[in-house]
Structure 1
Amino acid sequence: MRTPFTRIAFATLLALPLGFGPALAQESPIPPGVLDTAKVPGVMAKAVDGFIRPGYHRFHDSATAMASAMGALCAAPSQLSLDGARTAFGSVVDAWSRIEIVRVGPVLEGNRFERILFFPDRKGTGLKQVQAALAKSDESATSMETLKDKSVAMQGIGALEFVLYGTGAEALTAEKEGYRCRYGAAIAANLQRLGGELATEWDKPDGIQAAWKTPGPNNPIYRDEAEAAKELLGVLVHAAETVRDQRIESFYKGDAAKALPHQAIYWRSGNTFRSITANIEGIRDLMDQSGMADLLAEDNRSVVSSTDFVAHSLARVSGDIEPDVAKALETPEQVAKLDFLLLNSRDLILRLNNDLGGGIGLAAGFSFSDGD
């Protein structure tokens, strides 16, 4: 039975207008449902300069701080230095979770995305490889130069989480320059490298940012403004789908008795809901920083505000859930919050895909998942 929390909160969201707002007295020069092509380059430019580039720089900075914290832990192991490394890890999770919603461009080249985050790992491939490296004390995993050529599952945030929080993590406070710590330091250095590469690629004036900012017949990626707008909206829709399908439903599908808490992302470190919140805040930030409302007719812009309201509500609830996933699944009040996320993440997908998509000139029901 749905709790009062869920009924009230969900009813509030359902009260929002799913369609377009009432027409204003003055007719808009661009009617609802027709893409204002003249404004697309400006919106794409703001997405790049206001969200994407700062996002990758923030991730690079957090990974740099992570590498420094691991160096300090290895040099002077103690509970204090371990706590410092774990705090830095949480910042990495937060920074990556905000920008990981951009699953296009340089992050897909050379398997960078999977090198940073190998998830979901349904068969436990990554876990087995990390455990094997720790059991054998494979020295080739303690240098970024050799680690980067190994399995992607061994060199990213998930692997570092196990080093810091998994079975045997207590060794990090007991041995100076120990193997486990040096492996973790190599992972952090690899994340720093990847973050730097992504920031550099997006900073190049004649690189991917130019493709985003100047759609047209001479653009090898976006031949016109419609293709560019579809890419931007597709980023938002896919991000919302990922939150529901890979972040929430990976461990909870509506029945707490059948939930799989150890399938949740970052469950060991208690960063599951911090990451989900950052994913959702990333969606909100991208909508806001890009000025996507500019692509809508004047009397249709309430679509963006209502969509943002749903996203804000989701972020508020996910940020207020018990960090320990297993404990959250044992408490009716916490399960009610999970139900809220499950139900309303679907609403967010529909608002982005149908309302916002239709409002900027794509047919309602446009399926980004099919690549149309």
Structure 2
Amino acid sequence: MLHPARAQCREDSAVPNPEPFALHIPDAALADLRDRLSRTRLPDQVPEPPWTYGTDVNYLRDLLAHWRDGFDWRAQEAALNAFPQFRVPLHGIDVHFLHVPGEGPAPMPLLLSHGWPGSVFEFLDLIPRLTQPSRFGGDPADAFTVVAPSLPGYGLSFHPGQKRFGIEAIADALADLMTEVLGYPRFAAQGGDWGAFVSSRLGAVHAEKLLGIHINLLAVRRDPAMLENPTAEERRYLGELTEFLKEETGYQWIQGTRPQTLAYGLMDSPAGLAAWIVEKFRQWTDNDGTPDSAINRDRMLANIALYWFTGCIGASFHPYFARMHGPWPIPGTVDVPMGYCQFPREILRPPRTLAARTYTDMRRWTVMPRGGHFAALEQPGPLAEEVRAFFRPLRREAMEQ
């Protein structure tokens, strides 16, 4: 049977108690941000097509002007605070999370994990579609109770000087959040980017706690066997991978080798931080040339601003450092039920033949018509429908056990 979803913490005195939380950035911090933005020094525009060498100067100039004079942080803050939030001491830090109860007779507990350069702001349009499907024409029987943490080291799960977390440690902390703190002996997990790695790690190492995982990025390694006699789909993927490794991995190398050095500039300059992050929102979304055509500009700025106000950018790099200096974080195979959404503008789209070497119980594989890497921001409705569809038969299986 599914464990009944509940918003309150467990009564066991040995289990840390979550404390209610609401975000409020001081007015002085808002004024400091506006002052820094007003004194921005931009580089010259290279006489080549926009975005050829990275973030376009003219686009960034306009974005920074809006951030300074048109962006309403308090509105975004209120949108986040509309959801029940908590903090709890766990694994040596204070972990922040949203805990949103679902409707219906037996909402399934769902751990929703973001990645880099994301945050819980990614999920504000997705969560209601999962917790209250009836509001969007769905069946209340498909509802989830959503737990959406700020990953340890990110956003509101960061405090200066705290220990750093790689994917392995993040997965262990979130497993304890779900089972020990919130009292869900078994739960579902969903994620993209690092959140897909966290979900996959949970499926590999904490399988007994998982009802299943749904991901929109595959945590797989290149298999040398594909090079011997590749299929057409494998050749397509190898071409994508070659281009990605050549043109798109500079951020991984600097974040994975010299994260502290990079953090100085991004901690001190909101313009530098915005340029570093917005380039990913442009490169990795299904857009018409600027990220604004794929995602809401103010929601994108809310995400960037959260990195700025919390000062977490240096800590957010640590999964890259841990990945580059440690073992592959998904040991062996993932044997729990798995569902996957392949969005056309995802960073990499490995073929099913390769994915099957890691995920041994693939129940659903859907090729989506639109969308990219930030699926929860770009396509919250279709993503929610896919998550509900994947877990629907697993609910029945769990009820029959």
TM-score clears 0.5: no
**Greater relative contact order (CA < 8 Å, ≥ 6 in sequence):** 1
Query: Is the helix fraction higher in 1 or 2?
Result: 1
**TM tier relative to shorter chain:** under 0.3
**TM-score, normalising length: structure 2:** 0.26
**TM-score, normalising length: structure 1:** 0.27
